[in-house]
Structure 1
Amino acid sequence: MQLGLIGLGKMGGNMRDRLREAGHEVVGFDRNPDLSDAASLEELVGKLQAPRAIWVMVPAGVTEATIDALGALLGEGDIVIDGGNSRFSDDGPRAEKLAESGIGYIDAGVSGGVWGKQNGYALMVGGSDADVARLMPIFESLKPAGEFGFVHAGPVGAGHYAKMVHNGIEYGLMHAYAEGFELLEKSELVQNVPGVFRSWREGTVVRSWLLDLMDNALTADPHLDELKGYAEDTGEGRWTVEEAIRLAVPMHVIAASLFARFASRQDDSPAMKAIAALRNQFGGHAVTKS
């Protein structure tokens, strides 16, 4: 099958390689001419046979502009797939705007990171039955081998919604491993923390790919001395918590893991200063001066 692919960074470039290895014809476009198969979006569209399918894998800040540009170049029967980490609420308006020109739209939540080329990408897609069915040869080649790794989650928006929740769960899982690591590190008894994590990789209920990656990190840096305890977030955790508030769903773990990331960015927490001041005021407890 023929596919246009916009954005050939770490994930997009690996997706192009995986699809080509599966026998698909992929025409890629990237702002970096060393990576690109086309000099412009116009040239990319011109190299594709109608009805076209173009997958967009660009940073969130330029997704809207890229899809708008495609909307002016594509026509009846073409399909745009957004595989970036877009907010699900953006998908409906995009689909409606493209539909005015007869262009279909699929939102695809993509998980797999830099390992996807080798292991495959878990795909959560939203869109019409007809559009999804037409792209199934592409989805089948991108997903991991076997029964799992793909879902048509529902109509437009459902794919990015599912990926949002997936990433929220990821926040919670990562933070559970992180808290366990800190406790093991501070224990007077445990002398081989990397070995403990490694032992969990088989035969335990906490084994997972994230645990495998934790083992990789601890093998390279047993006490994580080379890292600073600072963690960014890319939005999906915030959106998950916002949806939990909207739908009145208790979300203690995911919310706490998101707030922990905020705390990681504070060199000297104003909130903890206030707590120290209050303890000193009501109980005369000692405070540490800056």
Structure 2
Amino acid sequence: MELGLIGLGKMGGNMAERLRLGGHKVVGFDFNKEATAKLTAAGSVGVNSLEDLVKNMQSPRAIWIMVPAGDPVDETIAKLKPMMQKGDIFIDGGNSNYKDSIRRHDELKKEGFEFIDVGTSGGVWGLKEGYSMMVGGDEDVVEKIRPVLETLAPAPDKGWGRTGPAGAGHFVKMVHNGIEYGMMQAFAEGFAIFEAKKELNLNNAQIAEIWQYGSVVRSWLLDLTAAALKANPELKGIAPYVPDSGEGRWTVFEAIDLNVSAPVITESLIRRIRSREQDNLTDRMLSVMRNAFGGHAMKTE
């Protein structure tokens, strides 16, 4: 199936290559001319304007959007609509909020267009391993892009599925990323405990490799962790600063709204936020209060 792809960063570029290798025609757009030239050289079609993207595709078109969540998605759709025809499909493969995906589906449906939300996981390894895709949208529309999804997935019948109506794909991906926060935090804390037990002279890289085989905690995340520790056992040059891209926050908000207890995901999010505080007022306040009621000594700068 022919596919238009907007956004040729590491993930988008790898997706385009996997589709090309799977026999699909890919027309890719990016402002980066080097990225589009690379795509063309590989045997697909790279363009540097949305107009050329649409012109190089036959209707009904399916255009996969890989841009940052929020306004960029709406702005991209708004620019494309006047050039597209009724029945064309918009696919949001980024990490959008599921509420935005429901809204976009309903708005586009009224105008005669189709919309599918695809929560996509796999990162830079997707070209080799395939992508895990959680798909939301009308069942008949999802069927139209089945060949694309089967090619991008680890196998035609594995690693992807329609999880429900519009918004369901991004909702499932949101919780997926929240779970990821908790798993990462648990591994990080465990290895920090090993590091602190100086008298046993434990080797984090060795332990990670042992766990890769037969252990109940073996996983792709552990494989990546083991490789990182082998390359840089002491994590030299890495600042203790952990960003969050939004999905963990949304997961916590949903848990609260639904009255679902999610302490591990919530605490892992709070810990990421804490890592970015350069001059922590909370800890200084605790020291002041401890001194005030108990006369305990305060460490000064």
The TM-score, its normalising length taken from structure 2, stands at 0.94
1:21-46 deviation per Cα after TM superposition (whole angstroms, max 9, x unaligned): 00000000001122221231111111
Deviation at 1:156, TM superposition (A): 0.4
Counterpart in the other structure of 2:281: 270
Give 5+ residue unaligned stretches, structure 1.
none
Deviation at 1:146, TM superposition (A): 6.3
Structure 2: distance between partners of 1:114 and 1:273: 41
Counterpart in the other structure of 1:13: 13
Deviation at 1:134, TM superposition (A): 0.6
Q: Is contact 2:131–2:154 with CA below 8 Å preserved after alignment?
A: yes
Deviation at 1:147, TM superposition (A): 4.3
In the alignment of these two chains, the number of paired residues is 290
Secondary structure in 1 matching 2:273: helix
Deviation at 1:7, TM superposition (A): 0.4
Structure 1: distance between partners of 2:172 and 2:201: 39
Structure 1: distance between partners of 2:230 and 2:155: 28
Counterpart in the other structure of 1:208: 219
1:62-111 deviation per Cα after TM superposition (whole angstroms, max 9, x unaligned): 11100111222212111000001100010122112212331100000000
Q: Does 1:93 align with 2:88?
A: no
Structure 2: distance between partners of 1:41 and 1:239: 31
1:136-176 deviation per Cα after TM superposition (whole angstroms, max 9, x unaligned): 00000000026431120100000000000000000000000
Matches for 1:232-243 after TM superposition, within 5 Å: 232-243=243-254
Deviation at 1:128, TM superposition (A): 0.4
Structure 2: distance between partners of 1:46 and 1:16: 18
Counterpart in the other structure of 1:56: 65
Identity of aligned residues (%): 51
Counterpart in the other structure of 1:160: 170
Counterpart in the other structure of 1:41: 50
Q: Is contact 1:75–1:101 with CA below 8 Å preserved after alignment?
A: no
Structure 2: distance between partners of 1:225 and 1:34: 32
Please point out which of 256, 265, 290 is paired with 1:279. Answer: 290
Q: Is contact 2:3–2:26 with CA below 8 Å preserved after alignment?
A: yes
Secondary structure in 2 matching 1:24: coil
Structure 1: distance between partners of 2:299 and 2:121: 45
Secondary structure in 2 matching 1:90: helix
Secondary structure in 2 matching 1:35: helix
| Cα distance change of structure 1 residues 67 and 123 upon mapping to structure 2, 3 Å threshold | same
Structure 2: distance between partners of 1:29 and 1:234: 24
The TM-score, its normalising length taken from structure 1, stands at 0.97
Counterpart in the other structure of 2:200: 189
Give 5+ residue unaligned stretches, structure 2.
37-45
Matches for 1:44-193 after TM superposition, within 5 Å: 44-60=53-69, 61-145=71-155, 147-187=157-197, 188-193=199-204
1:157-203 deviation per Cα after TM superposition (whole angstroms, max 9, x unaligned): 00000000000000000000000011000112143221011100010
Secondary structure in 2 matching 1:84: coil
Which segment is superposed worse, 59-68 or 179-188? Answer: 59-68
Q: Is contact 1:71–1:98 with CA below 8 Å preserved after alignment?
A: no
Deviation at 1:281, TM superposition (A): 1.1
Counterpart in the other structure of 2:237: 226
Counterpart in the other structure of 1:29: 29
Q: Write the letter of the residue equivalent to 2:209.
A: R
Structure 1: distance between partners of 2:84 and 2:110: 11
Secondary structure in 1 matching 2:200: coil
